[in-house]
Amino acid sequence: MTQTTALRARTLRAASATALLLALCVGATHAQNTPQAPGPKPWQDRTLSPDQRANLLDKELTLDERLGLLHGPMAIPFFPGMKLPEGAIGSAGYIAGVPRLGIPAQQESDASLGVTNPGNVRPGDTATALPSSLLLAATFNTDLAYKGGVVVGQEARSRGINVQLAGGVNLARDPRGGRNFEYAGEDPLLAGHIAGAAIKGIQSQNLIATMKHFAVNDQETGRNFANSVISEAAMRESDLLAFQIAHEVGQPGSVMCAYNLVNGAYACGNDFLLNKVLKTDWGFKGYVMSDWGAVKATDFALKGLDQQSGEQLDKQVWFGDPLKAAVQTGAVPASRVSDMSRRILRSMFAAGLFDAPPAVNVDRAANAEVSRQTAAEGIVLLKNEGNLLPLAASAKTILVVGGHADAGVLSGGGSSQVTADAAQIALPVGGEGMMAAFNRMNFHPSSPLKALKERLPQTTVRFDTGRYAAEAARKAKEADLVIVFANQWMAEGDDAPDLSLPNGQDALIAALAEANPKTVVVLQTGGAVAMPWLKQTPAVVEAWYSGDRGGEAIADVLTGKVNPSGHLPVTFPTAITQYPRAELPGLGLPDGQVFDVRYDEGSDVGYRRFAALGQKALFPFGHGLSYTTFAYSDVKVTGGDTLSVSFKVTNTGSVRGKDAPQVYLNRRPDGPAKRLIAFSKVDLAPGQSTTVTLSADMRLLSRFDAKAQKWVQPAGRYEITVAQDAEDTGLTASAQMKAATRKP
């Protein structure tokens, strides 16, 4: 190209940009000076699709109005002297509407465990606190996930909230992850279906839910600077598959991108993740919002980000004046900015935010019952030697120790913290950094001690705080049975340094078990923990963070009023050395220093890696005991185009119970490949049987070919196992499958 030709080209581009800007400005002036004609507007026609309505309305926006939909502030008093934006009800974030066109403001609230009230910004407002997402995943019950979503959606909309920042899908790649409790475990199929059902439940109540944190945001240590390094094929077969399934099931109106980098590019400015995978390959029709403080530049708009959220935490409002200037110079096409606002409007139309949905009738008692049911079904009986549980009928005196069991049940910390009751107890934890303001160990006032006393009126139930192990052990010798509560408080912003129980609780449990061989351990944790005392304790229960009716649910399981049916959604290792990164990457590095987190295990997350290496877990993924027993029989597998498995489940015990049968792929034509390919939940009376029929998603039988950009299922024989956990030998069968491929 000659210098003259190049100059002419630059002149033409500048002229085109000037003409486009002039058109936008003329349109803006005309729109601002011309009042809207009375009567219904074209975009108010409910017979049109959300896409059609959004296209019609978007054309009416001025440039400034369009930009106003693309960014917004936090709506909580996070900084001293900070005032709420005008029109904000007080929540995680606020995006102003356009009154001229009847576009409502977006009132955004955390999170998937219930409607939060950060900093008591809405004085005295309480909401139903659901159990942690990890407990929800332990139910293996998508119906409960949907019901919980309905609870969250109802209670959010009753407050005027129309965007709920809920739907955590990140896989638990490391048991020390600080936010594992907000997510749905280590398996893509389970996590995708549980999170997707919860999103679907929330959006059934006429508001927008998000799917987050996209993607591979699997540790809190250095979360703003961690660079997740992973091959495309491995990512597609693990973390991205979980998100893809959740997207297919839940159809979220928004996706929240993450803080971390993925293969060298920040997740909120990652062209591969946002433009290629999410919007092109998966056909996502909604909008991508940033996590609070995750935007680094205006050109993130070109890389797929549609909305800057919590803008005070960023260096500047990139999607305000800087984006306007970029449109004026042609650096960002005006058509892209229109696409951003159109996507937001499309999700608002799809959720019914323009159409005055009917008023919500919130029944807090009914919602609390959903929370209790979920907790009861997600509590996992890990060990029950000698059938010590349900509580021995011969026990006349029971000593309950530790865990603040007299006060309530523990909940996880951070932005997901729900204020369930004005009497909620909060113990300051301290610390420094941005999340220090949230560092409070909260206990929902549902006391397991009180619930046990109510259920055991003929038994003397005493309590010891556990502050002094020797004194607690002395009392333990005098009791017929001991129940010790052990807590691991996990929170956003911090990973656990190791798998031990903090504050000397392991030593306390060991002392109690030595003093009384009938010692039951109840764990309230954010994930897997080590158990150096396991051989000395005959019964262990994992209660997770059990929500605002957790105390009652725990007591129901311990006393046998509820037959436990939870199954582990994560592997409990014997030691952290069984995981790929024994030392957390990024520890001790200063803020601002980018570091790599290399996922050399690829798609072999959790139990998959244990199987590949022939390792045995302390408790495997899928493990969970019952007060009854179940047997599987009559396994039949059909192949061809779709792998289908049918089998009979029989309750062979003496009490009613629920089982979570699991179907695993053991071997593909090209070798071993451990994968959960299907699961179910059944409820059976003693002696009752039912036949379960399940089909496998071909992506779980396939490998992703990054070069060819497709899922590839080779022809040949596929071996499966119907089992009770990932290490159970179960019942094995096989079928011949045809070769198949699928677009990503």
Q: Residues 703-743: pLDDT tens digits?
A: 999 999 999 999 999 999 999 999 999 999 999 999 999 99
What is the dihedral sign for C-alpha 38, 42, 44, 47? Answer: positive
- The pLDDT > 90 percentage for the chain reads 89
Q: pLDDT grade, residue 5 (50/70/90)?
A: very low
Q: Find, among 643, 671, 607, 634, the residue nearest to 734 by Cα.
A: 643
| Average pLDDT estimate for 298-314 | 97
Task: Give the separation between CA 603 and CA 616, rounded to whole angstroms.
Answer: 19
Q: pLDDT grade, residue 23 (50/70/90)?
A: very low
Q: Which residues are catalytic?
A: 291
**Helices within 685-738 (DSSP H only):** 698-701
The length of the chain in residues reads 744
Inter-CA distances, 184 with 80, 133, 291, 520, Å = 35, 5, 19, 26
Q: pLDDT grade, residue 15 (50/70/90)?
A: very low
Predicted pLDDT at 440: 87
> Other CB atoms closer than 10 Å to residue 707's CB: what's the count?
7
Question: What is the chain's mean pLDDT, rounded?
Answer: 93
Each residue of 488-534: pLDDT tens digit? 999 999 999 999 999 999 999 999 999 999 999 999 999 999 999 99
Is residue 589 within 8 A of residue 222, CB to CB? The reply is yes
Q: Find, among 158, 86, 167, 83, the residue nearest to 128 by Cα.
A: 158
Residue 1: pLDDT above 80? no
Residue 2: pLDDT above 50? no
Q: pLDDT grade, residue 36 (50/70/90)?
A: low
Task: Give the separation between CA 243 and CA 211, rounded to whole angstroms.
Answer: 8
Residue 29: pLDDT above 70? no
Predicted pLDDT at 35: 52
Predicted pLDDT at 519: 98
Each residue of 416-467: pLDDT tens digit? 999 998 888 888 887 777 667 668 899 999 999 999 999 999 999 999 999 9
Residue 16: pLDDT above 70? no
Q: Which residues pair with 163 in a beta bridge?
A: 108, 208
Is residue 445 within 8 A of residue 129, CB to CB? The reply is no
Each residue of 330-382: pLDDT tens digit? 999 999 999 999 999 999 999 999 998 888 899 999 999 999 999 999 999 99
Task: Give the separation between CA 135 and CA 184, rounded to whole angstroms.
Answer: 8
Predicted pLDDT at 37: 60
What is the dihedral sign for C-alpha 680, 669, 701, 528? Answer: positive
Is residue 490 within 8 A of residue 442, CB to CB? The reply is no
Task: Give the separation between CA 531 and CA 389, rounded to whole angstroms.
Answer: 19
Residue 609 host element (H or E): helix 607-613
What is the Cα gyration radius of the chain? 27
Residue listed under structure tokens 């080590």: 530
Crossing angle between the packed helical segments 3-33 and 321-329, to the nearest 10 degrees:
130
Inter-CA distances, 397 with 562, 608, 636, Å = 22, 44, 50
| Average pLDDT estimate for 38-51 | 91
Phi, psi of 607 (to 5 degrees): -60, -25
Residue listed under structure tokens 């959220």: 309
Each residue of 344-358: pLDDT tens digit? 999 999 999 999 888
Q: pLDDT grade, residue 655 (50/70/90)?
A: very high
Residue 216: pLDDT above 50? yes
Predicted pLDDT at 111: 87
Phi, psi of 638 (to 5 degrees): -115, 145
Each residue of 250-285: pLDDT tens digit? 999 999 999 999 999 999 999 999 999 999 999 999
- The pLDDT > 70 percentage for the chain reads 94
Residue 13: pLDDT above 90? no
Predicted pLDDT at 328: 96
Q: Could you give the dihedral angle defined by the CA atoms of residues 497, 500, 505 and 506, in that order, rounded to the nearest 10 degrees?
A: -150
Residue listed under structure tokens 């021995």: 392
